[in-house]
Amino acid sequence: MELFATARDLGRLAEIAAVLVRHGFGDIVQRIGIARVLERAGKALHWKRGAEFHHVSTPERVRRTLQDLGPAFVKLGQLLATRVDLFAPEWIAEFEKLQDQAPPSPWEQVRDQLVEDLASDPKSVFLEFDENPIAAGSVAQVHRARLADGTAVAVKLRRPGIRATVEADLSLLARLAQLAEARLPDLARFRPREVVRQLTQTLRQELDFAAECRNAERVARSFAEDPRIMVPKVHWTWTGERMNVQDFVEGVPSRDPAAAGRAGLDRRVLAHVGAQAMLKMVLEDGFFHADPHPGNIFYLPGNRMAFIDFGMVGRLSERRRDELVQLLNGLVMREPQGVTEVLLEWAGAAAVDVQALEADIDAFIDRYHGRPLAELRMGAMLGDLTRLLREHKLALPPDLALVLKAAVTVEATGRELDPDFHMVSEAEPFLRAATLARHGPARLAQRGWRATRTALELLGELPRELREILRSAKNGRLQVHVDITTLERFGHQIDGAANRLTVGVVTAALIIGSSIVMTVQGGPTLLGLPSFGLLGFLGAAVGGMWLLVSIWRSGRAG
């Protein structure tokens, strides 16, 4: 098990194994081989399972395990909460309980890092700086401060030393995912290696606070003409990888809709503004806030809305947006063929029973047929769709999993503000406009020009490619490789049969020759019998045993 070679790996592996055992997952520790690795390294495990977990559900035990394992694993759970296509609702509900809240780092450590990043004492940069954080998570903590000109700001600081810890855990997670996929077939359908790759990309992005601010400014530019949406201004003079400084947002947290009403805000308008903002980010911009939970949205006077914390964002290519529009149109307009085409495209090389999938989608669409748009629930429709995906062992591309999760969150927030809120009705104008744009003259001309340019480039390269082929043929360097797996296997079978035939002939010859030698008088003897005859029979016995084993193995392989 060279995957875990360093002392640091083994130490952390022992901690992970101990937590898994404590929460009742000792069988997983054994099946993927962690126990053997630790035993060889001289680290003993205590396999006693706590009695308190006898009546706790598996999803809850998994959530508690992730919570106990630290920041990278908490973020893994939060990422899994977006994979509604892979996990049933009871799992998603548990993953959503994962909070990356943690006690703040000691001020002395934070201050040393802050001085290093500012190249100065904080008191010389800020008019005021509150040493007590207003929020503390597993990766960062946030302090209130005031710039020299009196501007109220939020200073987000990365926890000292957190990057090294997270990188070590990500490396270990990648190795554990590799083992789990190879040794636990039941987990393979959850695509552990793909999930860890997505986690690595997301978490590294979140650790770079300057990247978070660039994301915020990109969204701010998109809404520059919309006064209803506010994104805090970034103060780049004091912003870097480990710290960012942004305007402090004074508003009503979206987790408290009643407070918005008490503040004189129109809750119906706020629900509409939030839905329109998310739909624009996803369907028009292809760049969206991927974590629009209540802690990241604030309501402002004038029925405006502020988005904060752009550490997790989603990106959708033009092609992916077209596919998403086609899928949502199929759901909203009751067109099962369009839904089927998109899901098959997303399935890629996965084995799919197309007829069964089409039949299930027809039944799925039929459940919503005839209902007015105002009665359709986007969250319920997407929930049914993801359940259908799980039944057919299909998975969404990671970027679209983020979209679905964001859409469900926005609808839930909208309905908390306004019980009569309808996400489908909000989406319909965007889908109509996106469909028209997709098939409009400008897009058709753009696609036509793109195809023409590609064809012209190919035609321009054709003479040179043909000259290369002719030159290779003339010089005898032209080779054609035909890779046929069936013929290769057949060749191996022929080789094996020839080897067995050869050994069989040699064994028969040894038996006959040894029998003749045994009748000849004279020469060396062993136990009163001719030595050469005995050696011949011994060689024949070895050859016969080899033949039996070889035939048995070939029968099992077949």
What residue has token string 């990500």?
170
| Cα radius of gyration rounded to whole Å, the chain | 33
Measure the CA–CA gap between 93 and 539, rounded to whole angstroms: 68
Return the pLDDT at 215: 95
Q: Strand, helix or coil at 356?
A: helix
Measure the CA–CA gap between 176 and 190, rounded to whole angstroms: 14
Where exactly are the structural domains of the chain?
A: 100-248, 265-437, 440-480, 485-557
Residues 6 or more apart whose Cβ sits within 8 Å of residue 536: 510, 511, 513, 514, 517
Report CA-CA distances (Å) from 533 to 316, 530, 543.
Answer: 79, 5, 15
Return the pLDDT at 498: 65
Q: Residue 117 gets which letter from DSSP?
A: H
Q: From the CB of residue 356, how many other CB atoms can be counted at a distance below 10 Å?
A: 11
Q: Strand, helix or coil at 144?
A: strand
- DSSP labels for 173-237? HHHHHHHHHHH-HHHHTT-HHHHHHHHHHHHHHHH-HHHHHHHHHHHHHHTTT-TTEE-PPB-GG
Residue of 262, 251, 334 lying closest to 294 (CA atoms): 251
CA 33 to chain centre: 24
Whether 328 and 431 have beta carbons less than 8 Å apart is answered as yes
Whether 195 and 83 have beta carbons less than 8 Å apart is answered as yes
Residue of 93, 60, 69, 61 lying closest to 405 (CA atoms): 93
- The reported pTM is 0.70
The token pair at 375 is: 């009665």
169, 291, 309, 360: which is the annotated catalytic residue? Answer: 291
Measure the CA–CA gap between 387 and 371, rounded to whole angstroms: 21
Q: Strand, helix or coil at 145?
A: strand
Whether 220 and 115 have beta carbons less than 8 Å apart is answered as no
* Residues with pLDDT less than 70, the chain: 1-9, 35-54, 100, 189, 332, 347-351, 369-376, 438-451, 453-456, 477-501, 503-504, 510, 514, 517-523, 525-529, 531-533, 551-558
Measure the CA–CA gap between 411 and 19, rounded to whole angstroms: 36
Measure the CA–CA gap between 509 and 158, rounded to whole angstroms: 79
Kindly give the pairing relationship between strand 243-247 and strand 313-315: unpaired
Is 169 assigned a catalytic role?
Answer: no
Q: From the CB of residue 520, how many other CB atoms can be counted at a distance below 10 Å?
A: 10
Angle formed by the axes of helices 423-439 and 398-417, to 10°?
A: 140
- CA angle 428/432/433 to nearest 5° reads 120
Return the pLDDT at 302: 95
Q: Strand, helix or coil at 525?
A: strand
Long-range contacts of range 159-167, CB-CB < 8 Å, 24 or more positions apart? Answer: 159/105, 160/105, 160/109, 160/110, 160/112, 160/113, 162/71, 162/138, 162/207, 163/207, 165/70, 165/71, 165/72, 166/71, 166/72, 166/139, 166/203, 166/207
Residues 6 or more apart whose Cβ sits within 8 Å of residue 151: 235, 247
Residue of 396, 408, 125 lying closest to 275 (CA atoms): 408
Amino acid (one-letter) located at 25: F
Q: Strand, helix or coil at 407?
A: helix
Return the pLDDT at 1: 44
Whether 180 and 191 have beta carbons less than 8 Å apart is answered as no
Q: Residue 443 gets which letter from DSSP?
A: H
The token pair at 2 is: 């060279």
Q: Residue 280 gets which letter from DSSP?
A: I
Total count of residues recorded for the chain? 558
